[in-house]
Amino acid sequence: MAVAETIQQDVREAMRAADKQRVGALRLVLAELQKSAKEGNEDELAVLRRERKRRLEAAKAYREGGREDLADGEEAEARLISGYLPAELSDDELSEIVARAVRDSGAESVKDMGRAMGAAMAAVDGRAEGGRVSGMVKAALSG
């Protein structure tokens, strides 16, 4: 079953349960998925990752502005979206992938970070955030 279909079903269940916040969050995500599909982009997971990232960035901005209530709502939506994404890689799994990517790409120093990052991000396939991968690649190339 496609992610969009699963979310549509979850919207119906949330409506039956009268969970207005969940319905609203799921409808926003579903709208983004449908818009992306209409534009010809079939990568539902990329849309979900983007939407989760938006929520986390908004939560950070709200916290910096002293709006804990709004930040909590954004983080709740980010957790909801995370439920539709594949599980994140553990540090050990990511470290192994990064080591293999550095070795296979022939990267030897931080100057070669672009090659190593390209290989690592392809192998990670969205199961870890880019910043996390970048930090591990940089550490591996630094020594």
Q: Where in the chain is the domain with CATH 1.10.10.410?
A: 91-142
Task: Dump pLDDT digits (tens) for 35-75.
Answer: 998 888 778 888 888 899 999 999 999 999 999 999 999 99
Task: Dump pLDDT digits (tens) for 103-124.
Answer: 888 878 888 888 888 888 888 8
Range with lowest mean pLDDT among 22-31, 47-56, 76-85, 121-130: 121-130
Euclidean distance between CA atoms 51 and 33, whole angstroms: 10
Class of the CATH domain delimited by 91-142: mainly alpha
Q: Where in the chain is the domain with CATH 1.10.1510.10?
A: 3-82
Contact 118, 93 (CB under 8 A): no
User: Which DSSP string corresponds to 51-100?
Assistant: HHHHHHHHHHHHHHTT-HHHHHHHHHHHHHHHTTSPPPPPHHHHHHHHHH
CA dihedral 52, 55, 57, 58 (to 10 degrees): 170
Structure tokens at 77: 């939506």
Altogether, the residues listed in the chain come to a count of: 143
Class of the CATH domain delimited by 3-82: mainly alpha
pTM (2 decimals)? 0.73
